[in-house]
């Protein structure tokens, strides 16, 4: 796996520190509120499990799975719900937890869909953001890092279902996917 990584962008320490920072901020902002974290599978699973343990107020969690890229590296804009939430979010304060926002098409679709279920509030938390690639406007309320327009993997994020178990975030060598 390591030999396919061109450069490490964020080490385990970088990620730990940033996740703690985000967790503290969310804990403050949602004190005395009923908060549900919604993780977007599978990419956000590692971030989600670290983030929730850095939040020190009572919360509940749920997960949603959508298809976006398939096995390619560019967004199709076609989003399909593969797994829906287990519980209603009506009247709840909701934060969607994403691994990475690229064009924004996936999250835009998820947001519109969740808004129709009448949450009390709906915010976005993403570990990584590629702002220059955005195709739809969107407010990101909690963000870990901005990254350049490169294809990255690790810390839950995959290429063709591989590399999710790397403990850091790195840039994937182009020769791995440009064949």
The number of residues that bind ligand IMP (CB under 6 A) is 18
Distance CA 161, CA 55 (A): 29
**102 annotated active-site:** yes
**Contact set with Mg ion (CB under 5 A):** 40, 43, 99
Q: Which residues contact 168 (CB under 8 A, 6 or more apart)?
A: 8, 9, 10, 11, 12, 14, 15, 154, 155
DSSP 3: G
Query: Of residues 112-171, which lie at the interface with ligand IMP (CB under 6 A)?
Result: 151-153, 157
From candidates 23, 50, 95, 104, binder to ligand IMP by CB under 6 A: 104
- Tell me which of Mg ion, ligand IMP, none is bound by residue 69, counting a contact when its beta carbon lies within the kind-specific cut-off of 5 to 8 angstroms: ligand IMP
Catalytic residue among 99, 102, 129, 158: 102
From candidates 12, 27, 54, 103, binder to ligand IMP by CB under 6 A: 103
- Tell me which of ligand IMP, Mg ion, none is bound by residue 129, counting a contact when its beta carbon lies within the kind-specific cut-off of 5 to 8 angstroms: none
32 three-class SS: coil
- Tell me which of Mg ion, ligand IMP, none is bound by residue 152, counting a contact when its beta carbon lies within the kind-specific cut-off of 5 to 8 angstroms: ligand IMP
* Cα separation values, 155 from 39, 49, 65, 97, 114, Å: 14, 11, 17, 14, 26
Exposure string over 147-170, b if 16+ CB within 10 A, otherwise e: beeebbbbbbbbbeeebbebebbb
From candidates 105, 110, 169, 176, binder to ligand IMP by CB under 6 A: 105
Judged by CB, which is closer to ligand IMP: 46, or 107?
A: 107
- Tell me which of ligand IMP, Mg ion, none is bound by residue 104, counting a contact when its beta carbon lies within the kind-specific cut-off of 5 to 8 angstroms: ligand IMP
Query: Of residues 29-88, which lie at the interface with ligand IMP (CB under 6 A)?
Result: 43, 68-69, 75
Alpha helix locations (H) across 7-158?
12-29, 45-53, 105-115
Give the phi and the psi of residue 134 in degrees, each rounded to 5: -60, 135
Distance CA 142, CA 127 (A): 8
User: Which residues are at the interface with ligand IMP (CB under 6 A)?
Assistant: 43, 68-69, 75, 98-107, 151-153, 157
Active site residues: 102
């Amino acid at each position: 796996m390591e030999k396919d990584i061109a450069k490490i962008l964020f080490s385990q320490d970088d990620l730990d520190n940033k996740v703690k920072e985000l967790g503290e901020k969310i804990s403050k902002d949602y004190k005395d509120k009923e908060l549900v974290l919604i993780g977007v599978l599978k990419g956000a699973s590692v971030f989600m499990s670290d983030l929730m343990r850095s939040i020190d107020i009572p919360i509940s969690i749920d997960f949603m799975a959508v298809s976006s890229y398939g096995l390619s590296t560019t967004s199709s804009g076609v989003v399909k719900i593969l797994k829906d939430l287990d519980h209603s979010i009506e009247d709840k304060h909701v934060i969607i937890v994403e691994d990475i926002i690229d064009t924004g098409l996936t999250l835009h679709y998820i947001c519109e869909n969740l808004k129709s279920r009448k949450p009390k509030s709906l915010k976005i938390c993403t570990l990584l953001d590629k702002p220059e690639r955005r195709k739809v406007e969107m407010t990101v309320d909690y963000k870990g890092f901005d990254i350049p327009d490169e294809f990255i993997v690790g810390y839950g994020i995959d290429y063709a279902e591989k590399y999710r178990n790397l403990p850091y975030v790195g840039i994937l060598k182009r020769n791995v996917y440009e064949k």
